[in-house]
A and B are shown apart, each in its own frame.
Chain A
Amino acid sequence: METRRDTLKIIGAIGSTCAFPFGANDLYGQQEHHHAAALAQVQSTRAPFTPKFFSAPEYQTISRIADLIIPPTDTPGAAAAGVPEYIDNVLTNNSDVQKTMRDGLAWIDNQSSELHKKRFVELTEDDQIAILRPLSDAVDRARVNSIGALFFRMIKSMTADGYYTSQAGLVQELGYKGNTVLAAFPGCDHPEHS
């Protein structure tokens, strides 16, 4: 049986201050937001995308890290779900987080070149994961005091936000079934709960 102590580990992982443009609970427009939200074209095939905030090499790195955070499995990973486009959109519209992102990307490539004399995207998957793992651990322990950890917390949050609000993440991966017309609410059909 799980103890209170186990569960509190997860609470600790969240940290109290977030360097994100919006809190997790604000994401889906439950409040009165007044952003000029353009309707995205729902596209069956994704057109080539030119990032507005990221340079081409930066965008490669971002796309790779997003896919390491949420990889393709029997459902699409972050990159195929359009997460890099989403992250570019967030960065374009939130100048206050741009520096953390730029500094973090520079730090990642520095680290790669110090250890392996290559850019991050040129490393093997194992080497890439080896660079990210300590950053992720620091975030999970709520020790977010380095450029790398700040960067990882930001990109992980944006990847999770972007992925689980995408068609691939919300519908294919999580199996979202709502937003339908039901003649009557069926109630709980688990025999052990009803």
Chain B
Amino acid sequence: MATKIYDVVVVGSGPSGGTLSAHLARRGVDVAVVEGGPKIDTRTAFNTHAMPFDFANRHIPTMRPGVAGFESERSRGLGGKSMTWNAVAWRFSHRDFKGRSIDGAGEDWPIDYQDLAPFYDKIEREVGVCGNLDHLEDLPDGVFLPPVPMKCSDMIVKRGAAKLGVKVIHVRKSTRSVASATQPACHFCGNCMAGCDVVAKYNSYDVHMRPALASGHLTLLPNSIVREVIVSNENRVTGVRFLNRETRAEGEVLGRTVVLACACVQSVALLLMSKSRRYPHGLANSSGELGRNFIPHFTGGVEVFLKDLVGRPASNDEGFLDHAYVPSFMHNRKRDFARSFGMQFGYQNRRSVGWARSLPGFGQEYKRSVKDRYPGFLVFSPYGEMLPNKKSFVDLDYDKPDVHGLPMARRHVSWGENDQRIFREMTRWSREILEAAGAEFLSEDPHPATNHELGGCRMGVDPRTSVVNADCRAHDVQNLYVVDGSVFPSASEKNPTHTIMALAARTADHIADRLKKGEA
């Protein structure tokens, strides 16, 4: 029997791979999703309703005892990081796509807001994004389910921020505030990032891939850790080679088109690992730019107790973690840096009391002071946009193979002057807003930390300075695509997943159109 050749082979099954493969399958394209990890049932696999005292060491582990999943970056499981994300869903704005044109630093995207707007619409209709229509130029409104009410802590922060002319809005999340025919509404148990056991929160398996299986055009291949993208003498990719996660046996999946959607760093790593005579420095890397322009978000943190809540009885306010957001405001103000920052806050649930050890003293008085402060504890987490620099990149560490014998991806991050200015300013603003809201300060992160990995396969017009084009297609190889955070030429300060999903929907249309025309 001849080996099946799929129309499209997608590597990775997170928000990007899940969205893309479902959209292709619905259009009648035969697609195989190759995922390193096992199939995960979100209803039973996670510790959604666990408490720390259920475990001797008080760590709530990701998976229930004996359940496989989330073993390594290369083998999380079907659904990828969408299983444990916090579901924050912003649209990027014109400013985010055209930062270089606006403030002269970093890089522009080759596409603009209008190019993605219809796909944001599409994703919001499919997934169910709750949010308020805020009419902000920098944070475009969309097709929203009703927003979830704010908590008392949000109202207090909102009042403080208003004194400084800073707006606080309802968060927007890919979590259903209203049930659909197939998904229930959120029940506010407060542990979204442990995995949602009812699929009120979007995950790419239950919301995108599972329903698409009915089309008969989608094949899921879990437990298959891809180690190489195969390239032919004719400079076309023909499929991928993988290792079985359990048996380590080698295998191949063949396709007319290959899409990498492995969550930024792992897509970069897979291309770097795919060396050939034509591409000795990694596939699709004739520019030498592969792995460069790594621009993860950086975050800080200020921990406080809101004085208005100190001494009150604790209330059931975990909700679906953070309910409010401070959208970027500095881009409209006088500042000594390019780009901007936004602020998330209050996304720790009330099962975390790690701050208690930091209060002074001991004995009855100490015990009382912890209890009094418990309802008022709040973490402010501003997020800033990093500019690309030569010292920030991803490469491979061949000296330290992972359990599968594959080189580990290595991140190099160095903060530039602009990044440090934003970090100082976003920390200062966090303090100012909290002070205006009435806060007792507990601690402050002195250094930026990375989150939301982006860049490494930059999208651009010029094949000498970018890896993929405006359609997410490799400049070097006609039938190879990369669709995840790695293609972002600039990072914005906004959580990236919603934009990654819109890009995936757009790329699915592009690939399906090409296949239809026989161009692929």
A binds B: yes
Interface on A for B, CB 8 Å cutoff? 2, 4, 7-11, 13-14, 16, 23-30, 32-35, 37-40, 42, 68-71, 73, 86, 89-90, 93, 129, 132, 136, 140, 156-157, 160-167, 169-170, 173-183, 185-190, 192-194
Q: Are A170 and B351 in contact (CB under 8 A)?
A: yes
17 A-B residue pairs with Cβ-Cβ distance under 8 Å, sorted by A, are A4-B435, A10-B441, A10-B442, A11-B443, A24-B358, A28-B52, A30-B193, A33-B61, A37-B61, A42-B53, A140-B360, A165-B58, A166-B53, A170-B351, A174-B374, A179-B191, A193-B156
CA A40 – CA B186 in complex, angstroms? 29
From B92-100, B143-151, B280-288, give the one contacting chain A. Answer: B143-151
Whether B362 contacts A24 by the Cβ 8 Å rule is no
B232 in the interface, Cβ–Cβ < 8 Å? Answer: no
A39: B residues at CB distance < 8 A: 54-56, 65
Q: Which of the residues A68, A89, A190 comes within 8 Å of B57, measured between beta carbons?
A: A89
Q: Closest CB-CB distance, B203 to chain A, in whole Å?
A: 17
Q: State whether A179 touches B362 (Cβ < 8 A).
A: no
In the complex, are the beta carbons of B57 and A11 less than 8 A apart? no
Q: Known contacts being A38-B56, A39-B54, A180-B189, is A160 close to B357, with CB within 8 Å?
A: yes
List of A residues within 8 angstroms of B313 by Cβ: 175
Chain A residue contacts of B156, Cβ below 8 A: 193
Q: Which of B70, B351, B354 contacts A176 (CB 8 A)?
A: B351
The 10 closest A-B pairs by CB, nearest first: A24-B354, A187-B149, A164-B353, A165-B52, A188-B152, A175-B314, A178-B318, A160-B357, A7-B441, A177-B316
* Most A CB within 10 A of own CB, among B62, B351, B435, B446: B351
Cβ of A179 and Cβ of B57 under 8 Å apart? Answer: no
Q: Are B440 and A188 in contact (CB under 8 A)?
A: no
Interface 9-mer from B131-139, B364-372, B461-469: B364-372
Q: With A174-B370, A175-B313 in contact, do A187 and B363 touch (Cβ < 8 Å)?
A: no
In addition to A40-B56, A164-B356, 4 A-B residue pairs with Cβ atoms within 8 Å of each other are: A14-B358, A181-B189, A185-B188, A193-B308
Interface residues of B in 184-233 (CB under 8 A from A): 186-191, 193
Given the known inter-chain contacts A29-B59, A182-B188, A194-B155, please indicate yes or no for A176 contacting B52, CB distance below 8 A. no
**Chain B residues near A179 (CB, 8 Å)?**
49, 51, 189-191, 318, 351
Q: Is A187 touching B150 in the complex (CB atoms < 8 A)?
A: yes
Contact between B59 and A35 (Cβ–Cβ < 8 Å)? yes
Neighbouring A residues of B364 by C-beta, 8 Å: 71, 73
B59 to chain A, nearest CB (A): 4
Instruction: Give the docked Cα–Cα distance between A87 and B196 (Å).
Output: 31
Complex CA distance for A50 and B277, rounded to whole angstroms: 63
B361 touches A180 (CB 8 A): no
Bound CA–CA A90/B58 (angstroms): 10
Are the CB atoms of A69 and B363 closer together than 8 Å? yes
B60 within 8 A of A: yes
Q: Smallest CB–CB gap between B302 and chain A, Å?
A: 10
Q: How far is the CB of B170 from chain A (nearest CB, A)?
A: 11
Could you tell me which residues of chain B, from 408 to 444, have a CB within 8 Å of some CB in chain A?
Answer: 435, 440-444
Closest to A136 in B: B362
Proximity bits, B318-351, A CB within 8 Å = 1, else 0: 1110010000000000000000000000000111
CA distance A133 to B323 in the complex (A): 42
B359 touches A (CB below 8 Å): yes
When chains A and B are docked, how far (Å) is the Cα of A8 from the Cα of B57?
32
Closest B residue to A164 by CB, please name it. B353
A70 to B313, CA, bound (A): 20
Using CB atoms, name the residue of chain A closest to B315: A177
User: Which B residues are in CB contact (< 8 Å) with A170?
Assistant: 51-53, 351, 353
A32 adjacent to B351 (CB under 8 Å): no
Q: How far is the CA of A157 from the CA of B186 in the complex (A)?
A: 35
Instruction: For B315, list chain A residues within 8 Å (CB).
Output: 177
Taking the closest CB of chain B, its distance from the CB of A140, in whole angstroms, is: 4
Q: Is B355 an interface residue when CB atoms closer than 8 A count as contact?
A: yes
Once the chains are docked, how many angstroms separate the CA of A93 from the CA of B56? 11
Nearest B residue (CB) for A187: B149
Please report the C-alpha to C-alpha distance between residue A26 and residue B352 in the assembled complex, in whole angstroms.
9
A175–B374 CA distance with the chains assembled, in angstroms: 9
CB of B362 within 8 A of CB of A69, answer yes
Q: Which residues of chain A come closer than 8 Å to B354, judged between CB atoms?
A: 23-28, 161
Query: Quick one: given A25-B354, A33-B61, A177-B314, are A11 and B441 in contact (CB under 8 Å)?
Result: yes
A-contact 0/1 string along B17-59, CB 8 Å cutoff: 0000000000000000000000000000000010111111111
Assess the A13–B360 pair: CB atoms within 8 A: yes
User: Could you tell me if A140 and B361 are in contact, using CB atoms closer than 8 angstroms?
Assistant: yes
Q: How far is the CA of A162 from the CA of B152 in the complex (A)?
A: 28
Q: Which residues of B contact A42 (CB under 8 A)?
A: 53-54
Whether A70 and B155, one on each chain, are in contact in the complex, defined by CB atoms closer than 8 angstroms, is no
Give every chain A residue within 8 A of B363 (Cβ-Cβ): 68-69, 71, 129
Name the residue of chain B whose CB is nearest to the CB of A14.
B358
Q: Which residue of B51, B59, B307, B317 contacts A37 across the interface (Cβ within 8 Å)? A: B59
Q: From B191, which residue of chain A is reached at the shortest CB distance?
A: A179
Name B460-485 residues within 8 Å CB distance of A: none
Q: Which residues of A contact B149 (CB under 8 A)?
A: 185-188
